[in-house]
Structures are given as structure tokens and as C-alpha cells.
Amino acid sequence: MKAFAVTGPGTFTFVDIDIPEIDDYEVLVKNEGCSICNTTDWMITDRLYATKDYPVLLGHESFGKVIKIGKKVRNYKLGDRVICANARPTGYDGTYYSSWGAFAEYGVAGDYHALVEDGQPMDGAYAYRNRYFSNDKIDPNLPAEKATLVFPMSETASCILQVPEVKDEDVAIFGAGTVGCTLALFAKLYGAKSVTVFDIRKEKAEQAVAIGADYAALSDEAYTAGKKYGVVYEATGKNTVFERGLPFLKENGVLAVYGVSTLPYHFNLNAVPTNWHYRTVSPRPVDAIPFVEDLLWKDKLPVSKILTHIWPFAEAEKAMRQVKNGEVMKGLVLIEGYADGVKVN
């Protein structure tokens, strides 16, 4: 089968690898498509995150149909649509490192709950099985352009659900990447009084307004406006934003950190409000999938504004480079049954 691999910093190729074998608790998935994670996939490519060496099999936001079932699987059936199926277990198989490898024609998903119920090991040599927790089922009837959004939108939606204080509050979000923009969208859907997105480029922040935020502003404007917020999200992964975001909290406000910094976080206690709360929010898509699917079916998510690009599998490298250049809000690489006739943005 064909898989998309990183061969060095910023270099890619297609490789031929065997269709993976499944064990008793696994299912084989024919992948329909895989979204590009704008931050993580390039961090992996550039060896900044989760990559020990090259070549690396890339991709983790896939969706596809179950075509083969292990004999001890009891929570999946043929035809189910499953997300995040890996071409290889996380780690090294002697030829390729796997940073999940979902840009591939086939992948393996696992019946996590059956493994737990049967007392199977989830650590040591089988630590990769913990990733099977992400192999949730999604609606098989959603069209591809909506199906591909279920996993990434559930990640950000879950980070709003983890901060119920968002409801009826003024919310500030620092960072207008895909995560920041969609955090703004879900904060409004969850009942925020107002949502303001700050970024060092105002045109980036204005993208968030196009999909649901109330206001967009340059980051430096926040420091002169004097407004306080009940919830502040740090969605850039930059230590300086963490430090400078604290003064914008109301008393008893919540600073929610989504971004991951490569440097330690520091703050000045003299510059923060009384009785503030710090919360690290980590994506738990399984908690938000039903919520997101319902919104997609009811056309309450602006799909065409979020999913700005679609490419055929053959143009996966072009897709990665357009993401790197900042041209893409969210993009889908179609895999199954699609070739040169697909419209490319």
C-alpha cells in the first residue's frame, strides 16, 4: 500500500509498505482521508516533537471504514467508520518511525474497551495500545468534508467543555491559528458572553470573527484597552503570551493553557489578579464527538470557512507546504478512491 513519509527536515516521499496485519483485538481500516494538523504534523516533520529519527510515517487525523475484524473485537463491525487508524504502531518497526502514519491507504484501530475488559497489557511493549482510546466511531453517513472535521473539532470543543466558566463570560483567546479560531467558535456556541481573539497579525485574528468570534485585535492592543476577561485561553505555545496574558484576568478568572511551550512558564505574582485559577486543557475528543457530530448535521459549524483546502493523496506534499506557508485554515487529503480528478485549492 502507499503511505506518505517524511525522509528528512521538510522532505517527503511516498513509500510502498505492507498492508498491516491485525491481532485479535484490532480492526483493519481502509482510510478515506486524513486532515493535516497544522502545528503537530510540521513539528514532527522538523523533529521538534514526537520524532526520534527519519524516515517517519506521518498523519493522525484520519477517518475510514472497517473492512476486517479481529476475533476478540466486540465494539466494532464491518462498515463502521473509525478515526485515527495507524499504519504502524507508534515507535520504530525496524524501517520506519511512526508518528502514527495515518496518511496511508490502510490503518489499524484497536478495540480499547475490549482490551481493558479482558485485562490485556496497556504498557511496556504494548504502550502504543493506549492510542486505541482515540479510535472512536463516527457517523458513517457524514460526507467526507464533515467527517474529517469530527476529530480535530472535537479536540478543541473538548477544551471548551473543560472550562464551564466560559458560559456567560467575556473570553479572550491569544493566538489565531486553527486552534484559536475554533476555540472561539466553540466558546460562542457554549454560551460565552463575548469572545475576542488576539494575534500579532490582525488579519489572522479576523479569521476567527469570520467563523464565530465577536472581536479581533492585535495582541498589543490588549495591553492598552484595560478590559478584563473571565476566561483567557493561551493557544500559541509561547511563554511570553502566558506571562503577558495574566493581567487580563478578572478576579477569580481562569487562565486556560492549550498551547505547549518548549520553555518553562513563569509569571510575576505582582502582575496577576486575586484568586485567579490556572488550568491546563488537554484535548479529549471522545468527550465532544457527539456534540460536534450534532452540530455538523444541523449545519451549525461553518464547514466551508474551516475546511479551506482539499487535495488528492498524490498531492500530499503540496498540501504540507501550503499549510507551512500559512495558506490553510484546515485541509483534507483524500485517500480512498480519489485521484487526479479531485479539485485542488
For the ranges 70-79, 88-97, 175-184, the lowest mean pLDDT is seen at 88-97
| 3 state DSSP class of 2 | strand
For the ranges 103-112, 235-244, 285-294, 325-334, the lowest mean pLDDT is seen at 235-244
Q: Kindly report the CA angle at 269 between 253 and 159, in degrees rounded to 5?
A: 35
Q: What does the pLDDT read at residue 43?
A: 80
pLDDT in tens, 267-313: 777 767 778 888 989 899 999 999 999 999 999 999 999 999 999 99
pLDDT at 343 over 50: no
pLDDT at 339 over 50: no
Cα separation, 98 vs 101, whole angstroms:
6
Cα separation, 308 vs 310, whole angstroms:
7
For the ranges 31-40, 54-63, 67-76, 83-92, the lowest mean pLDDT is seen at 83-92
Average per-residue pLDDT for the chain: 88
Is the distance from CB of 35 to CB of 331 less than 8 angstroms?
yes
pLDDT in tens, 194-225: 999 998 888 888 999 999 999 998 877 776 67
- Non-local (6+) Cβ contacts of 317 within 8 A are 4, 12
**Rounded average pLDDT over 64-84:** 97
Helix/strand/coil percent split, the chain, to 5: 35, 25, 40
Q: Which residue has the higher pLDDT, 11 or 342?
A: 11
| 3 state DSSP class of 102 | coil
pLDDT in tens, 45-67: 886 565 678 899 999 999 999 99
**Residue spans of beta strands (DSSP E) within 258-328:** 277-280, 309-312
Is the distance from CB of 36 to CB of 331 less than 8 angstroms?
yes
Whether the pTM exceeds 0.85: the reply is: yes
The secondary structure element, H or E, covering residue 6 is strand 2-8
Domains belonging to the chain, first-starting first, are 2-138+308-334 (3.90.180.10), 153-280 (3.40.50.720)
Q: What does the pLDDT read at residue 94?
A: 81
pLDDT in tens, 91-134: 778 888 888 899 999 999 999 999 999 999 988 878 888 889 99
For the ranges 102-106, 143-147, 166-170, 336-340, the lowest mean pLDDT is seen at 336-340
Torsion over CA: 188, 190, 193, 197 (sign): negative
Q: What does the pLDDT read at residue 243?
A: 67
Q: Which residue has the higher pLDDT, 159 or 8?
A: 159
Interhelix angle for 178-189 vs 144-161, to 10°?
70
